Chains A and B, each alone.
Chain A
Amino acid sequence: MNARKLFAIVRREFSAYFASPLGYILLFAYYLIGGYFFWLIVSRTRAATMSYIFQNLTFIFLFTSPLITMRLWSEEEKNGTAELLKTSPLTLWEIVVGKYLGACSFFLVMSAGTLVYLVFILSLGNPDLLPLLSNYLGYFLAVMAFFAIGLFASTISENQIVAAIISFGVLLILWVIGVAGESAGGNLGDFLKYVSILSHTDDFYKGVIDLSHVFYLLSLIFMGLFFSVKVLESKRS
Chain B
Amino acid sequence: MFRKSREFWLLLLLMLLAGSSFAIQRFPRPEFETGYQQPETMLPGPRAEIMAVVDLAVLILALSAVSWMVLKKRSRKGVFWVSMFSLVYFGFYREGCICAVGSVQNVTLALFDPTYPIPLTVLAFFIIPLIFTLFFGRTFCAGVCPFGAMQDLVAFRPKTINSKVDAALGMMPYLYLGLAVLFAATGTDFIICRYDPFVGIFRINAGFSMLLFAAILLLTGIFIARPYCRYLCPYGVLLNWISRFSYRHMTITPAECINCRLCENSCPYGAIKIPNSVKYAETRRQRVRKLMFITLLFPFLMVGGGWAGSRLQETFAGVNRTVKLAKELLVSDQNGQDVESFEIKAFRSSGKPLTEVYQEARIILHRFLIGGWILGAFLGLTTGLMVAGKLLENHQSDYVPDKGACLSCARCTDYCPVMGNTMPTELNHKA
- Are A and B a genuine interacting pair, yes or no? no
Give B contacts to A, CB under 8 Å.
none
Give A contacts to B, CB under 8 Å.
none
